[in-house]
Structure 1
């Protein structure tokens, strides 16, 4: 499993049934696909890179929130998702100005 970032010139690219957008990291779990993308000059594959939550898309954040067991994630906006996920990572509580129920 690794994050793959597309560095090509196209607006987006679908390859191996995965949609890539420039400079947006995508989590790829298939090791065969990762090997092929690693050899491709337009892709950056980084298995150890930690992607900042702010760089993830809303669907990626919602997926992380779902896996983390955050209730009400489906109705949250990006800042709320980031706040809740950071609170879980740090073991703290969300900011007081969070609009989560």
Structure 2
């Protein structure tokens, strides 16, 4: 979803929107409400890379994914944890096999 309004930034539904900067909105209720708003453009087919998401957005995704300790993670760590979860490559600290 991209905000096309004239404000420097806008906060709606606890989401901060900056003009012309895409924001991932996963809540379908919020998405429906904003898609009716004339200042927002919805591109449902576009997938935003994790690297382009802000730290609060990454933490929100980590929380929804059930990643423990996400609050203390930095952006690169959040991206790595989410990619590992998406790819099924969950690191196993107990695995001592060579």
CA spacing shift, 1:14–1:63, aligned 2, 3 Å: closer
Equivalence for 1:36: 36
Richer in strand (by share): 1
* Number of residue pairs aligned between Structure 1 and Structure 2: 88
Two-structure CA RMSD over aligned residues (Å) = 2.4
Provide the TM-score with structure 1 as the length reference.
0.69
Aligned-pair distance for 1:93?
4.2
TM-score, length basis structure 2: 0.71
Q: Name whichever of 7-16 and 84-93 sits farther off.
A: 7-16
CA distance in 2, matches of 1:88, 1:33: 30
Can you give the 5+ residue segments of structure 1 that lack an aligned partner in the other structure? 95-101
Q: Which has the larger radius of gyration?
A: 2
